Amino acid sequence: MAAAVPSERLRKQIEALPARPGVYLMRDAKGAVIYVGKAARLRDRVRSYFGSPRSLEPKTRALRADIEDFEYIVCANAGEALILEATLIKRHQPFFNIRLKDDKRYPYLRIDVQNPWPRVAITRRIGKDGARYFGPYASAGSVRSTLDLLKKLFPYRSCTKEITGRDPRPCLDYYIKRCIAPCTAYCTEEEYAEVIAQIILFLEGKAGDVLDRLRASMEAAAGALDYERAAMLRDQMRAIERTVERQMLSTTRREELDVYGLAREGDRACVQVFFVRGTQMTGRDHFVLEGVTGESDEAVLGSLLQQYYESAQSIPRLVALPIEPQGREALEAMLAEKRGSAVEIRAARRGEKRRLVEMAQENAAEALAVLRVRWLSDRTKTATALEELREELSLPDVPARIECYDNSNIQGSSPVASMVVFRDGQPAPREYRKFRIRTVEGADDFATMREVLRRRFKRAAKRIGERALETGGSDAPAADEDAWELPDLVIVDGGRGQLQAAVGVMRELGVYHIPAVGLAKRHEELFAPGEDAPVVLPRGSEALYLVQRVRDEAHRFAVTYHRQVRRKAATASVLDAVPGVGPRRKRALLRKFGSLRAVREAAVDDIASTPGYTRALAERVKEHV
């Protein structure tokens, strides 16, 4: 445990803290962020961690024991600190914080209304580009379900082609009434814009307004004797009405309301949210939080609201919860600033809102029960897989950390390699590493593997040598002495030759004590050093599924990186050769057209309209591409 009194270095840092609002980040001995907090007065809040241990909560005492360093960021006010704290928690996922269980950005629906023929697409990044964003959604499954529903109800285009109106014929979507075919000029820009306007209204929860607009269009079409269009609009209205009817009738009054329910077990909590717009529940989702042990329900709900609404694009007038969340006033101020008008957060005590909160509570408990079964099943399968792997490969211990390496190149061009890490049978994406091959020319997989493992273990070898001198010859590395923790098992994608290349480097660098195997693609055989016969894991075994999953993840990661490198090299080789096109103009061109192929297909006038380009330069680009 840490001493009751901070070190001299930490004491000086605390004394230098300003008495201003801000955010602080606590780090452990390895430099990892283990806690992010906000404060109205940084000096007082950080100093409180180093007072008498008896005055601290158990979780705070455990945190303080791991604090080796901290840093801080001064903010203009408490509201700015609240937003920054949520952003940093999402970025670092600190162990001692309550955190949304996802280390990726949440997905959104994006409608590029700034373009003449907008599309509806899924994105994980919000840009200041004039597009409309809806979300965030809890998962890719949630947002895809919404996208599928929109496609059934509204005939917008889902293709990515450039719309000229000169295509000879429409695609299948037109014939099944899923698109009004702007590509063949079967609709006007105004008619297509009306479809997009209807989608936006529907996503805003204004299904009644959509029906009113469709009814007016249907009557106008019938009045113009365009009965085919009138019938299509009638069918669309009926589909929307059926969808709305299936949604739960939530209130007798029009509302703009988000309703939350909470259930928790151990270190996890599940929060269910209902999105109520008008008199209908327009959507629902659930979120999982980790790190809730020792935290009150008020703190869990406060942290969820802070992290969720930090990036949410739709802020309601009212947020209803079973209890008042921690930091309610600061949260209300943050939401009001994002919305542009007052937002109320309150515990629902009676009436319809209480009924909705109770329903959200029940749904949260049911979702947690389903997740609990899944977690138990996953843990059991993973533990079984690791134990089977230990037995089959005769490993000294269960392999808690597995590293897998794979190469990727096309006939020797742009060679790269990947390292993926699985901890306790689960992927650890933050510890993945990419390698751009430096010393190997051509398609030499053995030499590539040797370079990658030499670069990976070189620092570990140096540490082991230093330790041997200090301890009189012991060559066992300490777990905390390598910037990248040493693995319990190394898997190389390939057969005996790849394994020999890997083991040769590991022996050369003094990490030969780490078990290593080669996984052959053809028969899923594992080759071990010094063994004549390969290890064949039983078909259907959990160990085989785990090894395949690790190998497939390494392959996916390597191929993705290789495509990025190849695409960048191809783009650079063509556009960089155009006189007058520097990095800034190249970025502007690719930002506008998205790819080199699109630039190649674009008209000279379109290229000339790009910022920084003249017609003469555009003609020069066309000559080169």
What mean pLDDT do residues 32-50 have? 89
Residue 5 tokens, joined = 């009194």
The pLDDT, as a whole number, for residue 465 is 56
- DSSP state letters, 332-370: HHHHHHHHTS--EEEE--SHHHHHHHHHHHHHHHHHHHH
The answer on 433 and 523 residing in a single domain is: yes
Q: Is residue 476 predicted with pLDDT exceeding 70?
A: no
Which is higher by pLDDT, 165 or 80?
165
281 part of a folded domain: yes
The answer on 553 and 456 residing in a single domain is: yes
The answer on 286 and 329 residing in a single domain is: yes
Give the DSSP letter of residue 537. P
The pLDDT, as a whole number, for residue 103 is 42
Q: For residues 557, 560, 562 and 564, what is the CA-based torsion angle, rounded to 10 degrees? A: -140
- pLDDT 10s digits, 219-257: 888 888 888 878 888 888 887 776 665 554 455 567 788
Q: For residues 563, 566, 572 and 575, what is the CA-based torsion angle, rounded to 10 degrees? A: -80
The total of structural domains in the chain comes to 5
Angle, helices 207-223 vs 189-203, to 10°: value is 150
The terminus-to-terminus CA distance of the chain in angstroms comes to 64
The pLDDT, as a whole number, for residue 3 is 42
Which is higher by pLDDT, 319 or 231?
319
302 part of a folded domain: yes
Most confidently predicted of 122-126, 236-240, 358-362, 469-473:
358-362
Residues 356 and 320: beta-carbon distance below 8 Å = yes
The pLDDT, as a whole number, for residue 459 is 73
CATH number at residue 76: 3.40.1440.10
The answer on 607 and 547 residing in a single domain is: no
The pLDDT, as a whole number, for residue 2 is 41
The pLDDT, as a whole number, for residue 409 is 67
- Min mean pLDDT across 41-50, 391-400, 593-602, 609-618 is at 593-602
Amino acid at 352: E
Please report which confidence band the pLDDT of residue 6 belongs to, taking 50, 70 and 90 as the band edges.
Answer: low
The answer on 282 and 198 residing in a single domain is: no
The answer on 520 and 489 residing in a single domain is: yes
Q: Which of 244, 85, 77, 63 is nearest to 149 (CA)?
A: 244
Q: Is residue 480 predicted with pLDDT exceeding 50?
A: no
The answer on 531 and 425 residing in a single domain is: yes
Residues 554 and 493: beta-carbon distance below 8 Å = yes
The answer on 557 and 426 residing in a single domain is: yes
Angle, alpha carbons 475-477-482 (nearest 5°): 140
Q: 199 in helix, strand or coil?
A: helix
Q: 36 in helix, strand or coil?
A: strand
What mean pLDDT do residues 159-166 have? 88
586 part of a folded domain: yes
- pLDDT 10s digits, 332-383: 999 998 888 999 999 998 888 888 899 889 889 888 887 877 776 677 888 8
Q: 604 in helix, strand or coil?
A: helix
Is the backbone of residue 586 left (phi > 0), alpha (psi -120 to 50) or beta? alpha
User: Domain boundary residue among 62, 97, 132?
Assistant: 97
The answer on 506 and 364 residing in a single domain is: no
- DSSP state letters, 422-462: EETTEE-GGG-EEEE--S--SS-HHHHHHHHHHHHHHHHHH
Q: For residues 607, 609, 611 and 615, what is the CA-based torsion angle, rounded to 10 degrees? A: 70
User: Domain boundary residue among 194, 211, 246?
Assistant: 246
User: Domain boundary residue among 49, 74, 97?
Assistant: 97
Range of 198's domain? 108-246
389 part of a folded domain: no
Proportion of the chain above pLDDT 90, given as a percent: 17
Cα distance between residue 342 and residue 350, in whole Å: 22
Residues 28 and 66: beta-carbon distance below 8 Å = yes
CATH number at residue 302: 3.30.420
Please report which confidence band the pLDDT of residue 259 belongs to, taking 50, 70 and 90 as the band edges.
Answer: very high
- pLDDT 10s digits, 58-114: 788 888 888 888 989 888 888 888 888 888 888 888 888 988 765 446 688 899 999
Q: How many residues does the chain have?
A: 625
Q: Which of 462, 463, 456, 464 is nearest to 431 (CA)?
A: 456
Using a 10 angstrom Cβ sphere, with 0-12 exposed, 13-18 middle and 19 or more buried, the burial of residue 365 is middle
Angle, helices 496-508 vs 445-471, to 10°: value is 30
Q: 84 in helix, strand or coil?
A: helix
Q: Is residue 478 predicted with pLDDT exceeding 50?
A: no
57 part of a folded domain: yes
Bridge partner residues of 535 (DSSP): 526
Amino acid at 538: P
Bridge partner residues of 276 (DSSP): 257, 281
Residue 291 tokens, joined = 């790190």
Give the DSSP letter of residue 183. G
Q: Is residue 49 predicted with pLDDT exceeding 80?
A: yes
Cα distance between residue 85 and residue 38, in whole Å: 6
CATH number at residue 597: 1.10.150.20
What mean pLDDT do residues 158-182 have? 88
Please report which confidence band the pLDDT of residue 400 belongs to, taking 50, 70 and 90 as the band edges.
Answer: very high
Residues 95 and 291: beta-carbon distance below 8 Å = yes
Most confidently predicted of 142-156, 302-316, 457-471:
302-316
Please report which confidence band the pLDDT of residue 599 belongs to, taking 50, 70 and 90 as the band edges.
Answer: confident
The pLDDT, as a whole number, for residue 139 is 67
386 part of a folded domain: no
Count each helix (H run) and each strand (E run) in the chain, helices first: 19, 20
558 part of a folded domain: yes
CATH number at residue 556: 3.30.420.340
What mean pLDDT do residues 605-618 have? 88
Q: Which of 394, 383, 350, 402 is nearest to 542 (CA)?
A: 383
The answer on 124 and 73 residing in a single domain is: no
Cα distance between residue 496 and residue 527, in whole Å: 6
394 part of a folded domain: no
Using a 10 angstrom Cβ sphere, with 0-12 exposed, 13-18 middle and 19 or more buried, the burial of residue 342 is exposed
Q: Is residue 469 predicted with pLDDT exceeding 70?
A: no
Where does 18-120 have alpha helices with state H?
42-48, 58-66, 78-92
Q: Is residue 545 predicted with pLDDT exceeding 90?
A: no
The answer on 406 and 336 residing in a single domain is: no
The pLDDT, as a whole number, for residue 23 is 93
How many other CB atoms are there within 10 angstroms of residue 179's CB atom?
24
The answer on 141 and 112 residing in a single domain is: yes
Residue 209 has, within 13 A of its CA and on its CB side, a CA count of 14
